[in-house]
Homo-oligomer: A and B are copies of this chain.
Amino acid sequence: MFSEPKSKHIPRATIHRLATYVQALENLARDGMEIVSSNPLADACGVNGSQVRKDLAYFGEFGVRGVGYNVKSLLLAITQALGVDREWKMALVGVGNLGRAILNHHEFRLRGFNIIAIFDCDPFKIGEIMHGMEVRCTDDLKTHIRDVNIDIGIITTPPERAQRAADNLFSAGIYSILNFAPARIKAPEIAHVEYVDFFHHLYALAFDVTKTDMHE
């Protein structure tokens, strides 16, 4: 079912849509659906059917013409293609409300994304045990993760501390960053920073509401 990617130059937009297809397929699997064709899958993801077919074609030949895709096989093939079907080790910096929620978010572990080290720069938090782990000082990040292979760093600090957190992660050799802090990060070329930006979405909603009000 799954073959080597046809092209190494897979557009980032496709990667993002694949993650959306995974969610839609998980919904379908939960509802007991076994087979899906590209159009309902596209509807569930807010794109069109030809986009789905085009995106999936990057990863080889999926599905049977006129029959559709097997939900579970497609789910497995996409997660394999994305390379996410393994355990990921993550370090989290900033154990405030959001950091703790993410630490306790069982959807992360369900998908193999495990937080195995936690850091904060608040002396009142350092040494505290959370989720079975000791909170370490962010400035000592490099030392504490020397012996573990961290794949991804998560930043959940206040915005004014996000850059320092990122710099500590970079200096420890962690260049894949998921940033939840509402701040832009200056990063070296080699780094990949993904922004989970609540406000960007809230602003988009707010703009829609304002625009709709103007037309009423």
Contacts and interface: CB of A to CB of B under 8 A. Distances in A.
A83 B12 contact: no
A208 interface: yes
A159 B29 CA distance: 12
Contacts of A20: 184, 195, 197, 200
Interface residues of A, number: 61
B12 A186 contact: no
Contacts of A196: 196, 198, 201
Contact of A210 (B30, B82, B194, B201): B82
Nearest to A112: B206
Contacts of A12: 204
A97 B104 contact: yes
Among A19, A195, A208, max chain B CB count under 10 A is at A19
A176 B207 contact: no
A214 B15 CA distance: 17
Given A18-B203, A205-B194, A107 B182 contact: yes
Contact of A15 (B82, B158, B197, B203): B203
7 residue pairs, one from A and one from B, having the closest CB atoms: A83-B210, A101-B101, A19-B200, A194-B201, A97-B101, A19-B203, A97-B104
